[in-house]
Amino acid sequence: MQNEASPLYIVGIAGSLRKASYNRALLAAARQRAPTGVQIEIHTLDPIPLYNQDIENQGIPTAVQKLRDAIYAADAVLLVTPEYNSGIPGVLKNTLDWLSRPPKPHPFDGRPVGIMGTTPGGFGTRAAQYQLRQVLVPLNAYVMAQPMMLVPGAGDKFDEEQTLTDEKTLAFLDRYLTSFSAWTRHFPA
């Protein structure tokens, strides 16, 4: 249990490679609006190669190792997932597969994790978020149960420069980040 004012360092990952990704934009908004004392450092999945045990046998790729190290050093991880076919995108699953590999402990082992997601559709990535929770079980990540940050109708909530402008969503994002920070502080530093 940490002090309610302890500084927090959170690694933020969005599961989209798209430049104009709504989920990258949502993560950028989260970084910008992080509560005082909370730093969200964004890591992109662009340099993560496709998982291949032959590559792994030659050594962990530098990009994977960097992400592992960042998560080891973090108090928590914030995953922002798009929804593809009612599940999580391959790039995110691929990254989690890399991060589940030896040496132990996995960087997610015992790590607090928050999940958010946005989609132009009406359900706000609910299906993808439930699938992501399932994938995080074998990694022994501690996923915050509530609140869930589901953002439907992305097309109306971000402007042309991918800035989150919807007031209600911004207010909920603030509440989400406050809850996630307080919940993360229940864990040892």
Ligand X SMILES: Cc1cc2nc3c(=O)[nH]c(=O)nc-3n(C[C@H](O)[C@H](O)[C@H](O)COP(=O)(O)O)c2cc1C
* Footprint on this chain of ligand X (rule: CB under 6 A): 16, 18, 21-23, 82-86, 119-121, 123
Q: How far is the CB of 38 from ligand X (least distance, A)?
A: 23
Dihedral angle at the C-alpha atoms of 102, 52, 129, 125, nearest 10 degrees?
Answer: 160
What tokens appear for 99 in the block?
Answer: 């991060």
What tokens appear for 64 in the block?
Answer: 């994977």
Q: How far is the CB of 20 from ligand X (least distance, A)?
A: 7
> Percent helix, strand, coil in the chain (nearest 5)?
35, 20, 45
C-beta of 62 vs 86, nearer to ligand X: 86
C-beta of 21 vs 100, nearer to ligand X: 21
The Cα–Cα gap between 21 and 36 comes to 26
Which backbone phi and psi does 97 adopt, to 5 degrees? -65, -45
C-beta of 11 vs 26, nearer to ligand X: 26
Q: How far is the CB of 91 from ligand X (least distance, A)?
A: 10
Q: How far is the CB of 181 from ligand X (least distance, A)?
A: 24
**How far separated are the first and last CA of the chain, in Å rounded?**
7
C-beta of 18 vs 186, nearer to ligand X: 18
